[in-house]
Chain A
Amino acid sequence: MSLGPDDVKNIAHLARLNIDESDIESYAESLSSILDLVEQMNTVDTTDVLPMAHPMDVSQRLRADEVLEENQREHFQKIAPKTEDGLYLVPKVIE
């Protein structure tokens, strides 16, 4: 599987990553070589094999519906890039 510069740009956009134009080519190369490595998977027939999402075959434990958290806004917003009146500020969201 070989990825070209346009593929890299599309993926980088989907992942919201700014990639310098001058680096696109080298990413295309390294991503392609990783996908080549991954290609080996196709040498094995996996028909009827159940996909395994977790290493343990266990089920979700459920939590009691209780409010246990207290307001920690000041503490949490101390590390925020930009806040005002308790809100996180971001560039204008256009609907």
Chain B
Amino acid sequence: MEWETVIGLEIHAQLRTKSKIFSSASTAYGAEPNTQACAVDLGLPGVLPVVNAEAIRMAAKFGLATGSNVAKRSVFARKNYFYPDLPKGYQISQMDLPIVESGNIEIELEDGTKKTVGITRAHLEEDAGKSLHEDFHGLTGIDLNRAGTPLLEIVSEPDMRSAKEAVAYMKKIHSLVQYLDICDGNMAEGSFRCDANVSVRPKGQKEFGTRAELKNINSFRFVERAINIEVERQIDLIEDGGEVVQETRLYDADKNETRSMRSKEEANDYRYFPDPDLLPVILDDAYLEEVRATLPELPEARRQRFVTEFELSDYDAGILTSSRAMADYFEATVAATSSDAKTVANWIMGDLSSRLNKEDIDITQSPVSSAMLATLLNKIADKTISGKMAKDVFNGLWNNEGDVDGIIDKMGGGQITDDAAIEAMIDEVIANSPGQLEQYRSGKDKLFGYFVGQVMKASQGKANPALVNGMLKKKLNG
């Protein structure tokens, strides 16, 4: 039987506000445990939440950027359950009246085909703390610094039909929230996380199959693998006469398998009800227009502009605008260099990207800044160094060996472009190779390479190859 996969994603994007969604404690990552958990975050008796204006604004931005309906009236609700990293015994979230509803986003697959994925809703909620399972004499340690960090939970329609589509969608949202500057997108720190609802059905069948929810998958690679392995599991199960049960499953990256989360097996009854400590959030048209006016240039528009303004191919422009940080890097480099945009693009998509990928770091953390790259490209443009030397200088920059000039000096100075110096070297080489000169002049053209090699050797590799070629040709041909 032929099977069809149905996937919907729930993405949790931490909003990059300075303070928490319901308290004035800092959201900064990496502080000592519980030093950023204030009375409100700890759920001390008597404390009350007050909504952070910036969290509302960021959610509205997302809504407007995805053509969604940003609710004029949204309501915070309590989701009740007991868990040690949930201090109040309930999470403040949104249920019936979320701030963002019914939008969509266009994704592009590797083969270039495009597809629209529906966004059911995006609602605001507070993050929980963290449970640390290291050894505390068999106990668990609770750190509530993260408790109360604002999250935007973005729920898609079950519109995706393959793991690749799911990844493309996730990447698109990841790029968008960074463009909007509402989430730092840092997956390693958990700022951008994803749950996937996965089911299969016989091709052609209308009804959805029973779905499993894969929890907390925090890399693009794992999303693809987790979905594929879960789809395989479900198909095998059904083909063996079994039935998929609706449950939460955890993806184990080491074993590349999903397994049931037994502790959460018990049917949850979250007893949602409107939070009586909070009032409805009312947004008017003027507010929404004001937010709309602050929307940055979005990926699609920027891509078009890159094609026209920098004469890049649609493909290159697509790659460069896939993240706001990369597009910003590109534009900053172009602005600071005399090199042409295409060269800049090649360097960013080539050497820089491969290095970033290899070491798994984000372009914003690149040791080679856009200013450094611009200076480096200027040195090629003014022929101080050759393209080949530039790669060595780039490596030097990457390894923090100094600035561009310093590294070139350390490498024994720049390229020799002085005609007289090159001519002197050529004369010497010719004088020392009478036999080869004779053979060359008698038609053995291949020996040209020999002469180039000798000159480059004499210059310790620094002579400008183009100059050497030109002048040598003239001399040899007498």
Q: What residues of chain A have their CB less than 8 Å away from a CB belonging to chain B?
A: 14, 16, 53-54, 58-69, 71-73, 76-77, 82, 84-95
B144 on interface, CB distance cutoff 8 Å:
yes
Whether A65 contacts B54 by the Cβ 8 Å rule is: yes
Residue of B nearest to A86 (CB): B33
* Bound CA–CA A77/B274 (angstroms): 31
Whether B50 contacts A61 by the Cβ 8 Å rule is: yes
Whether B279 contacts A67 by the Cβ 8 Å rule is: no
* Bound CA–CA A91/B17 (angstroms): 33
Residue of B nearest to A93 (CB): B140
Please judge, given known A-B contacts A84-B141, A90-B139, A95-B250, whether A73 and B34 are in contact too, CB under 8 Å.
yes
Q: Mark the stretch among B23-31, B407-415, B429-437 that contacts chain A.
A: B23-31
Question: 20 A-B contacts, Cβ less than 8 Å apart?
Answer: A14-B269, A59-B281, A60-B76, A62-B51, A63-B51, A63-B52, A65-B55, A66-B19, A69-B23, A69-B25, A73-B34, A76-B42, A86-B35, A87-B34, A87-B136, A87-B141, A88-B142, A89-B142, A93-B84, A94-B263
B133 on interface, CB distance cutoff 8 Å:
yes
Q: Tell me the residues in window 48-106 of chain B with beta carbons closer than 8 Å to chain A beta carbons.
A: 50-56, 75-76, 82-84
Residue of A nearest to B41 (CB): A69
Residues in B with CB closer than 8 Å to A65 are 17-19, 52-55
Residue from A16, A53, A73, A92 within 8 A of B82 (CB atoms): A16
Q: What would 8 more interface pairs be, CB under 8 Å, given A60-B76, A60-B281, A92-B139?
A: A62-B52, A68-B19, A68-B24, A69-B25, A73-B32, A77-B34, A87-B33, A92-B138
Q: Tell me the residues in window 1-55 of chain B with beta carbons closer than 8 Å to chain A beta carbons.
A: 17-19, 23-26, 32-39, 42, 44, 50-55
Please judge, given known A-B contacts A76-B42, A90-B139, whether A62 and B56 are in contact too, CB under 8 Å.
yes
Residues in B with CB closer than 8 Å to A87 are 33-34, 132, 136, 141-143
B280 on interface, CB distance cutoff 8 Å:
yes
* Bound CA–CA A71/B263 (angstroms): 34
Residue among A87, A92, A95 with most chain B CB within 10 A: A87
Whether B250 contacts A64 by the Cβ 8 Å rule is: no
B278 on interface, CB distance cutoff 8 Å:
yes
Whether B38 contacts A85 by the Cβ 8 Å rule is: no
* Bound CA–CA A20/B346 (angstroms): 73
Minimum CB–CB distance for B81 against chain A, Å: 9
Residues in A with CB closer than 8 Å to B263 are 94-95
Whether B25 contacts A67 by the Cβ 8 Å rule is: yes
Whether A93 contacts B34 by the Cβ 8 Å rule is: no
Residue from B143, B276, B282 within 8 A of A60 (CB atoms): B282
Residue among B17, B38, B83, B133 with most chain A CB within 10 A: B38
Residues in B with CB closer than 8 Å to A60 are 51, 76, 278-282
Whether B34 contacts A88 by the Cβ 8 Å rule is: yes
Whether B279 contacts A54 by the Cβ 8 Å rule is: yes
Residue among A59, A60, A89, A95 with most chain B CB within 10 A: A60
Residues in B with CB closer than 8 Å to A16 are 82
B439 on interface, CB distance cutoff 8 Å:
no
Residues in B with CB closer than 8 Å to A71 are 35-36
* Bound CA–CA A14/B82 (angstroms): 9
Residue of B nearest to A53 (CB): B274
Residue from A58, A82, A94 within 8 A of B279 (CB atoms): A58
Whether A59 contacts B139 by the Cβ 8 Å rule is: no
Residues in A with CB closer than 8 Å to B366 are none
Whether A64 contacts B53 by the Cβ 8 Å rule is: yes
Residues in A with CB closer than 8 Å to B269 are 14
B245 on interface, CB distance cutoff 8 Å:
no
Please judge, given known A-B contacts A59-B280, A67-B26, whether A88 and B50 are in contact too, CB under 8 Å.
no
* Bound CA–CA A88/B37 (angstroms): 12
Minimum CB–CB distance for A73 against chain B, Å: 5
Whether A85 contacts B33 by the Cβ 8 Å rule is: yes
B109 on interface, CB distance cutoff 8 Å:
no
Residues in B with CB closer than 8 Å to A59 are 279-282
Residue of B nearest to A87 (CB): B141
Residue of B nearest to A76 (CB): B42
Residue from A61, A86, A91 within 8 A of B32 (CB atoms): A86
Minimum CB–CB distance for B272 against chain A, Å: 13
* Bound CA–CA A14/B269 (angstroms): 8
Residue of A nearest to B142 (CB): A88
Whether B140 contacts A90 by the Cβ 8 Å rule is: yes
* Bound CA–CA A60/B52 (angstroms): 10
Minimum CB–CB distance for A88 against chain B, Å: 4
Whether B18 contacts A67 by the Cβ 8 Å rule is: yes
Minimum CB–CB distance for B84 against chain A, Å: 5
* Bound CA–CA A61/B279 (angstroms): 8
Residue among B23, B24, B54, B278 with most chain A CB within 10 A: B24
B261 on interface, CB distance cutoff 8 Å:
yes
Whether A90 contacts B84 by the Cβ 8 Å rule is: yes
B131 on interface, CB distance cutoff 8 Å:
yes
* Bound CA–CA A84/B279 (angstroms): 38
Residue of A nearest to B73 (CB): A59
* Bound CA–CA A67/B33 (angstroms): 18
Q: Tell me the residues in window 438-473 of chain B with beta carbons closer than 8 Å to chain A beta carbons.
A: none
* Bound CA–CA A15/B114 (angstroms): 48
Residues in A with CB closer than 8 Å to B42 are 76
